[in-house]
Structure 1
């Protein structure tokens, strides 16, 4: 049935294409081709048949503080219309994750020159302030090897915050003109409350939505490096993977061997009472608390953010609630951001029906507007 929905959508777009040529109509048609190619994965699609495959090459460069960096550069077979840094998420395969490769190739067929940097911490399930410098270095390199008019950064989930922070860094501001964030957060404390208890605030009232069961254990893995005790780190890692393999398992007996600081981490991740979250956070080891503070956009003044934000969030997101992108929108400078709320997008997984596909189509269309008329760093004009 969903295949029929997509056929109907493409037929509708083909009809629009037969109208007198104009930019908005052409972009809507192209957005449909992009969504169709994303759903097709490695299979055939109209975009693949009508756009040449991009060239992929490995590039090595040096960061502003001297670190050796490596990335994959995807160059369109046709016209280069915009430069975009694409940050991978939590995956052992890093920039060579098959899903990232497919997505990068889709965007490259649409005219984006893509730089996909290897973010080493993310390959071991660790989100860190260090990731901000990874994004800054990639943006600087791509901008200096492009037309010099600035680049965009696309990030998913927990990496959205690092992209925003990179755009605020003195070394990032001159290069990052716009950020596309899918399923990101604003207040990390509120996000941790949801992922552990299922409760979040919507329009001033407390709402419960069953969170994705593996979410809390992925969060645990991201903080293991900050747990002071070696034995605690090893035991917590075993506990996390045991739950990822078998969500219904009971690990309370294992947790009895943790030190007080390790137990504090475990207690936060197994807590179901939103009222207890503040006290449990206060009991965390200092390195873990410092990490949360450093990555929490709600603790930052975003008034100096110069990059334009295009935020996309699924209303039924069961990892980070859509209200987080709404809060980020409200904290961003006036006329410097927009939010596209969609259905058929479960966190970062796309599986829409016909109406959902139309909303996603409009979100992709906004991305193409940024491609065709990208704001240079420092611009805040409403597009």
Structure 2
């Protein structure tokens, strides 16, 4: 049991959560230890690079750069974080949209936090994500990483942790014939199921809950980030340059006047711009139909709503913020419902704005339960069916 002095060093909200945890978890020592670890992990995530009890009491992991090829034969590079003590599980950690890629300071700190918990963490460099480009190619990045990491151990399967738009990539990787035997479970934070509905929310703020249309103010930067992810699929080079300039000017200043730039776009470029500046949810289907073929094909390829998830064998631990202003929480709910029965769980959290954490007491308690479930997956992962048992 932690000392009262040690617990008081934590954030006040987490102190209360840990105090409740200590009472609730008394019947099982292993469960109590996981709950306590979960609280220290949350406090360490909140601390970032600053000192924390987690850093002081757990040996620092070793990081090395590794190069490998997976089933595709494509050369890959990644950072491998090895715990300073026992390796208890293997985890592929996928970075998001960041020019720093696997060396983004936030990802590095998160990887170290997880490695201190006994995870051997592989953080692959996903080149397309470093240039704000989400692509079906990312599926192979995840498959190759899982294949390589699983081969280092006993072949019992690995976990994959992904955030935001990369959650769908992880699920699609687990559906791949050569990914299915290696990906045992997925932790997805702030992901989507139906990409069309997600784009409707990003651009208009409207989403569907229990069959009713609802509105929530979306993050203004969201639409322009989405534009940057699709630039490579716009056929005309001049359009790509103009749209890139529009997106970056609006990201720097949401009130920037970009109308004159938009007037210089060709019809395909103008179709992309029309979707991203639209505010009417009823127009979205027609605007999507008018997009260039490459952009439409990309949306179709990355849309989980088009896939048969009954073949999914990886267990899903989904975490989503009720206050998410980029992807509505109903998307993770829809993903849970589409997964095979009993194979997914959803933890809804207040104070989690997309992937930024600032919970109150209730939110911290729910986050702690989500981290506790991650630690349970570490200690008792679901079995990964062998290829011989695959349908």
User: TM-score, normalised to structure 2's length?
Assistant: 0.94
2: CA distance, partners of 1:82 / 1:195: 36
Deviation, 1:65, is 1.9
Q: 1:65 to 1:340 in 2, by over 3 A?
A: same
2: CA distance, partners of 1:27 / 1:246: 45
Equivalent residues, number: 377
Q: Is the contact between residue 18 and residue 35 of structure 2 (CA under 8 Å) also seen in structure 1? A: no
1: CA distance, partners of 2:65 / 2:255: 42
Deviation, 1:7, is 3.4
Match of 2:13 in 1: 5
Match of 1:370 in 2: 377
Q: Which of 295, 317, 323 pairs up with 1:310?
A: 317
Match of 1:283 in 2: 290
1: CA distance, partners of 2:358 / 2:276: 29
Match of 1:235 in 2: 242
- 2:346 counterpart of 1:339: yes
2: CA distance, partners of 1:245 / 1:106: 32
- 2:140 counterpart of 1:115: no
Match of 1:166 in 2: 173
Q: Is the contact between residue 307 and residue 378 of structure 1 (CA under 8 Å) also seen in structure 2? A: no
Deviation, 1:54, is 0.4
Deviations for 1:30-77, whole angstroms, at most 9, x for unmatched residues?
A: 110110000010111111111000000000001322211000000001
1: CA distance, partners of 2:19 / 2:313: 39
Deviations for 1:99-148, whole angstroms, at most 9, x for unmatched residues?
A: 00000000000111100000000000000000000000000000000121
Q: Secondary structure at the match of 1:131?
A: helix
Q: Is the contact between residue 340 and residue 363 of structure 1 (CA under 8 Å) also seen in structure 2? A: yes
Q: Is the contact between residue 166 and residue 172 of structure 1 (CA under 8 Å) also seen in structure 2? A: yes
Within 5 Å, give how 1:183-262 maps onto structure 2: 183-262=190-269
User: TM-score, normalised to structure 1's length?
Assistant: 0.96
Q: Is the contact between residue 343 and residue 352 of structure 1 (CA under 8 Å) also seen in structure 2? A: yes
Match of 2:183 in 1: 176
Deviation, 1:285, is 0.1
Match of 2:143 in 1: 136
1: CA distance, partners of 2:307 / 2:31: 36
Q: Is the contact between residue 57 and residue 72 of structure 1 (CA under 8 Å) also seen in structure 2? A: yes
Match of 1:85 in 2: 92
- 2:167 counterpart of 1:157: no
Match of 1:359 in 2: 366
Q: 1:278 to 1:20 in 2, by over 3 A?
A: closer
Deviation, 1:376, is 2.5
Match of 2:357 in 1: 350
1: CA distance, partners of 2:136 / 2:206: 27
1: CA distance, partners of 2:54 / 2:258: 48
Q: Secondary structure at the match of 2:230?
A: helix
Deviation, 1:4, is 2.6
Deviation, 1:26, is 1.3
Q: Is the contact between residue 16 and residue 29 of structure 1 (CA under 8 Å) also seen in structure 2? A: no
